[in-house]
Structure 1
Amino acid sequence: MAAKSPATRRPSWWRRPSFWKKLVLWTLISGVAVGLVAVIALLVAVYTTRASLPSYDELKSSPNGQMIRVHAADGTVLVSLGPSYGEWVPYDEIPGVMKDAIVAVEDRRFESHWGVDPLGLARAVRVAYLKRGSGRRLQGASTITQQVARTIFLSNKYDFGRKMREAVIALAMERKFSKDQILELYLNKVYFGGGAYGIDAASRKFFGHPANDLSLAEAAVVAGLVKAPSHYSPTADAEAAVQRASVVLNVMAETGKISSAQAASVDPRSVKLAPEPRQNSVRYFTDWALPQLEVLIDESEAPLEVWTTLDLGMQRAADEAIRRNAPPGAQGALVSLDRDGAVRAMVGGKDYVSSIYNRATQATRQPGSAFKLFTYLAALEAGHKVDDVVVDEPVTIAGWSPRNSSGHNSGQMSLRTAFAYSINTVAAKLGQEVGFGTVADMARRFGITTPINTQPAMVLGTSNVRLLDMTRAYASIASKGVAVTPYGITRVTANGQVIYQHEVDTSHVLVAPYVAAQMTDLLQTAVATGTGRAAQIGRPVAGKTGTTSSNKDGWFMGFSSGLTTGVWMGRDDARAVGGLQGGTAPARAFASFMTKAVATRPVEEFETKVTLPEWQLEPEDNAYYAEPDNGVFVDQDGNPIEPQEQGQGAQPGQAPGEEQEDRIDEDWIDRMTGGSPANPQQAPQRGPIRTPAPDMAGRSGVVPRERPAAPVEEEY
């Protein structure tokens, strides 16, 4: 029997050609049908989107993000934040090199595709496949039209749905707008880094001139930014920007936009960058004020004009006062409030560029005797009068025995004298009398927002506070006991409409007017004859000094002519600063600032006249009261500790532990004889001239003969 051929062994249905023909035919028909439906759906989507697209003029005016312009009190623009927009540059005015550079590096087939480039997409898919596993997403597939669609209508979120919407919008835009219009939109809308949107903003930011003057090298730098604005920014990494610009020039040569000779002749390193604008102390204020917009308004899209309380003249005076008076190695901060709480000046440090940390609003430090404001307020509210007789005598409270800077006690004196010369034992006894919790409640009533301990030594300022809070408290005394709330924003406008207007609230009375008047009496005396004499400015001033242990912090708080100013100085690491006392550098900074700040304001007399304390009449016996206010050493909890003896109060340039040679201090002689430059008209008061003790040289007081040359006992 003959063997069957392979063909005869197959099933009959296999041998029927009609089956495969039908299968292939139906597959083709189904594919064409699905494709046709997809094309129809795409066309419907594209033309529906085209119909809903805004007009070209509307697209030109639509913002890329919220811009905020901040104005000073006189209308001067302090800073512009958020997106930065330059002038709109029409297509015909855009330099040809700029158009060629961006097309070459971002979308070389821009003139030929319909909004989506299949060849570019295939190339991007191939690259992604070759680099699979690297975690990198699909890149390089977006055309210029797609980037415009994403910039104007979509977010930067990367997913398949967003890419599909981007493609549809791009196809629709190509149906509605010309290539020139799309490129014009792109070059005026795309983000180039540093907050700059559009080529004009980028050109002004990086090169300091308008976009219509861009050279080939500059255009290459700008075009190279689009891929990674933060990485290739010439202000962030000049070398990376130069390398990227070189790539752009080479691509322009490859695509025929320029010749190879032109590409070789251009050196991106020759591009001159515009200097970065100097960030001055104004930014301390704007950094504090602007976050408040989230609470004050709901507008999050329209450009905002923010009008603030800042007085530029006062701000310059404040900046200068801190820079000139803060000791070497130490920082300084200043806040000045008008009578309604308007912040007229705010300095958070010597240099905003080197440190944006705002020591006026963020730092919490011990205030020393400046905190005695609350102790005496509680005593006055409890019924004490400024002329009440109190006794400076040894006292022990719960194991704590405060000491005076003089090293001894002086017996009977008035409350005014005790405050003027910052007698610690009297403050301690007052705190015990009214209750330390009452003192803490008074501090909270006046706006101290930080935790306050109720250990006995709290009356000497052992609780950390903020300078802004302390300034607010003193401003409330200046306003006769009515609460003052600091504010920095007066009004906000959007599209020409006022959407926020600040209203001053004067309804909260913290203490009775007579209590505030008596407190002002005490504060006047402290400046006129006590520890704050360096703060005199030739018109009525009320204030108080503060110094913490080992000269770590110096404070001066005071007010005059409706303006309240607080000054703090010290090191950020809380180490000692040689010679720092509240009555020295901080008081001098206060006087320097206030002299200029109130120069155009009328002189305002306080309700109470300055009354000299009784000890002022006998300087030869009690001159030590004129020393800067110091106090007992206490720890963070207010418990007594032993004085540190390793030269922490050393003068600048003096080695720790090294004693200074006794010498006559001419400035001290002037002050003690009434010839102080701060008050040259004061009648001389003669007394025995004494050489300051070694650890007090250069300060404003003297030490009694019996006092040993020992480390100074600083005030808390």
Structure 2
Amino acid sequence: MAGTRKPTKQLVADNRYPKRRGAGGAPKVSASKKTSRSPKQKPKGNMITRFIKWLLRLIWKLIWAVLWRTGLTIALLVCLAIGYVWFSLPPVGELLDGRARGSVTLLDYQDEIFAWRGDQFGGVINAKTVSPHLKNAVVATEDKRFYRHFGLSPRGIASAVRINLSEGRGPLSGHGGSTITQQSAKLLCLGVPYDQNRWASERAYEADCRQGSLWRKVKEAIYALAMEAKYSKDDILTIYLNRAFLGAGARGFEAAAQRYFGRSAADVSPAEAAMLAGLLVAPTRYAPTNNLTRSQNRAGVIIGLMEEQSYLSAQEAAAARQKPAVLSPAAEANAGGYFADWVMESGPLFFTRNTTEDVKIKTTLDPTIQRAAEEALEYVFKDLVKTGSEAQAAIVVMSADGAVRAMVGGRKLKVSGAFNRATQALRQTGSAFKPFVYATALELGYSPLDMLEDSPLTLTIPGSGDWSPKNYSEEFLGQVTLSEALTKSLNIPAVRLSEAVGRENVRIVAADFGLGTDLAEGPAIALGVSEATLIDMVGAYAGIL
């Protein structure tokens, strides 16, 4: 028992050390565990296809490397450009009135407006205070996603390009797909102010601002993005509402509302708002003062857009269609165009054509007399002149104090800037000049009862030979008084009297009455061979009164 020992378990510590290699100590390797390698897969395709695939992968890697670097560079440059424009943009208030010149509002003798000249501004309006109908009409017409986009509308641009191509135009010709923000940038001419040394006229400046080249479109997009970053949506809409041209010299919706409807843009009805918004596509063509029916039809389209976009209910839209907008009495009359042009031409330049401020000029025009003069001229050409006749006429009505009360300068009455036969056409005065010959005689002491000889007369004119005036009746009355000779408009007594008092004295007296321009030198001056305008002759006769 004592010689027997129990087998001891191997201590855990013995497991920490590997068994020594030696006799019988080499580790055994299981014969079943053999190292196995997976067979190498053969490349698919032949050498040519493998080369093409490798080349394509290389090209794609190169293109991708170039594209993302180029894209990143362009993005950085665009961000820098937007940042530069952002810092250069002034406060909104400085962008609302961009006119280089002022406007002239003409009032009649009762202080009622009858004409406008120059670029009418009307005053600043705000997108938050303007009539909501007008605000909605503009957005519905020009940019229905205005409050949702970031200044550019890729969908709108793509649609415009598609329409242009379908209509046979270039992708950038015709429809522009511009947002209100882009249009505002264009109205601001991308921040470039008008310089009379660079552009021949404001018209040339505006044409340059509207050019549609690709580079211009890029700059316009950058400017629009900067505006979106700088201003609120209502600020941008405010700029647009104040800068847009709406025909008839109206700059901005306030001026247009006053020009066409005689009220503020804050008070326009849905029908009036639709008519104003309809002008944006073609201001001159759709101006209600040019063609009211065409303008009303265009407004009907805008009302449809407002209804479609839920700015108007079906009942409101129907009411607006049934009662379309009409012109104010002053705009509808459109009277005194020739008179207004004459005031602008004859007034001081700094106060009329070259004014840099908005001015009002009170005139002597009487609208009642003006309407009567226009109706009289219409009657003459409608009932007394043959159809197709090219005859013309002019009317000037003047009071004894020299105040012009009415003026019509030609057959066409609704005009602006037309040739004015009342103030510009020179015509021989004829027998209308004779009273100034007799006035000269009275000035020198003659009596209306003094006698003149009405008999054949021949005068020798140096360099021209003999000249023998005749009466219209080709008869001779013998001895006549000054009063009788003037009453019967006899030619020979007028010439005799002119020669007696002296032609130079006749010219002096005529000049005192306002007829001193290029009077004839010879004896025929007494018969009115000199030329004068109608307004000068009327003014001279007013001086007699």
Matched-pair contact (CA < 8 Å) for 2:124–2:242: yes
Matches within 5 A, 1:373-384: none
The reply on whether 1:177 has 2:231 as its aligned counterpart is yes
For structure 2, the residue ranges without an aligned partner over 5 or more in a row are: 1-43, 191-205, 381-392, 460-465
CA positional deviation for 1:127: 1.4
Task: Kindly provide the CA deviation profile for residues 294-345 of structure 1, in whole angstroms up to 9, marking residues without a partner as x.
Answer: 855798573242656x445xx579759968999973864234686xxxx632
Aligned partner of 1:364 in structure 2 is 426
CA positional deviation for 1:182: 1.8
Larger radius of gyration: 2
Aligned partner of 2:406 in structure 1 is 347
Aligned partner of 1:394 in structure 2 is 456
CA positional deviation for 1:177: 0.9
2:396 to 318, 328, 333: 333
Gap change, CA 1:121 and 1:453, over 3 Å in 2: farther
Q: TM-score, normalised by structure 1?
A: 0.53
- Give me the whole-angstrom Cα distance separating, in 1, the residues matched to 2:336 and 2:312: 46
The reply on whether 1:409 has 2:477 as its aligned counterpart is yes
What SS is found at the alignment partner of 2:426?
coil
The reply on whether 1:124 has 2:160 as its aligned counterpart is yes
2:93 to 57, 70, 94: 57
- Give me the whole-angstrom Cα distance separating, in 2, the residues matched to 1:558 and 1:173: 61
2:104 to 55, 58, 68: 68
CA positional deviation for 1:143: 0.4
Aligned partner of 1:142 in structure 2 is 178
- Give me the whole-angstrom Cα distance separating, in 1, the residues matched to 2:182 and 2:105: 31
Matches within 5 A, 1:15-414: 15=51, 19-60=55-96, 62-63=98-99, 66-70=102-106, 79-86=115-122, 88-133=124-169, 137-153=173-189, 155-156=206-207, 157-160=210-213, 161-255=215-309, 257=311, 261=314, 265-277=318-330, 279=333, 283-292=337-346, 295=349, 300=354, 302-305=356-359, 307=361, 310-311=363-364, 315=366, 329=380, 332-335=395-398, 344-345=403-404, 347-349=406-408, 354=413, 358-372=420-434, 386=446, 391-397=453-459, 398=466, 400-403=468-471, 407-411=475-479
Query: Which amino acid in the other structure matches residue 212 of structure 2?
Result: D
Aligned partner of 2:201 in structure 1 is none
Gap change, CA 1:135 and 1:410, over 3 Å in 2: farther
Gap change, CA 1:69 and 1:251, over 3 Å in 2: closer
Matched-pair contact (CA < 8 Å) for 2:257–2:265: yes
Matched-pair contact (CA < 8 Å) for 1:424–1:460: yes
- Give me the whole-angstrom Cα distance separating, in 1, the residues matched to 2:440 and 2:336: 37
Query: Which amino acid in the other structure matches residue 403 of structure 1?
Result: N
Task: Kindly provide the CA deviation profile for residues 108-145 of structure 1, in whole angstroms up to 9, marking residues without a partner as x.
Answer: 22122221222211221121122224899231411011
- Give me the whole-angstrom Cα distance separating, in 1, the residues matched to 2:273 and 2:378: 48
- Give me the whole-angstrom Cα distance separating, in 1, the residues matched to 2:234 and 2:165: 34
- Give me the whole-angstrom Cα distance separating, in 2, the residues matched to 1:26 and 1:145: 38
Query: Which amino acid in the other structure matches residue 183 of structure 1?
Result: L
CA positional deviation for 1:178: 1.0
CA positional deviation for 1:48: 1.4
Task: Kindly provide the CA deviation profile for residues 154-184 of structure 1, in whole angstroms up to 9, marking residues without a partner as x.
Answer: 5353232443333222111101111122223
For structure 1, the residue ranges without an aligned partner over 5 or more in a row are: 475-556, 565-593, 595-716
Matched-pair contact (CA < 8 Å) for 2:127–2:235: yes
Task: Kindly provide the CA deviation profile for residues 355-408 of structure 1, in whole angstroms up to 9, marking residues without a partner as x.
Answer: 666443134344233323665689999xx8637875432224536341376943
The reply on whether 1:426 has 2:488 as its aligned counterpart is no
What SS is found at the alignment partner of 2:105?
strand
Query: Which amino acid in the other structure matches residue 178 of structure 1?
Result: S
- Give me the whole-angstrom Cα distance separating, in 2, the residues matched to 1:188 and 1:44: 29
Task: Kindly provide the CA deviation profile for residues 627-663 of structure 1, in whole angstroms up to 9, marking residues without a partner as x.
Answer: xxxxxxxxxxxxxxxxxxxxxxxxxxxxxxxxxxxxx
Instruction: Count residues with an aligned counterpart.
Output: 459
Matched-pair contact (CA < 8 Å) for 1:322–1:350: no
CA positional deviation for 1:467: 2.6
Matched-pair contact (CA < 8 Å) for 1:101–1:248: yes
Matched-pair contact (CA < 8 Å) for 1:91–1:181: yes
What SS is found at the alignment partner of 1:24?
helix
Task: Kindly provide the CA deviation profile for residues 52-80 of structure 1, in whole angstroms up to 9, marking residues without a partner as x.
Answer: 11212223455586322346799876643
- Give me the whole-angstrom Cα distance separating, in 2, the residues matched to 1:256 and 1:182: 23
What SS is found at the alignment partner of 2:431?
helix
Gap change, CA 1:265 and 1:279, over 3 Å in 2: closer
What SS is found at the alignment partner of 1:102?
helix
- Give me the whole-angstrom Cα distance separating, in 2, the residues matched to 1:153 and 1:251: 29
Gap change, CA 1:116 and 1:209, over 3 Å in 2: same
- Give me the whole-angstrom Cα distance separating, in 2, the residues matched to 1:319 and 1:96: 39
- More contact order relative to length (CA 8 Å, sep ≥ 6): 2
Q: TM-score, normalised by structure 2?
A: 0.67
Matches within 5 A, 1:695-706: none
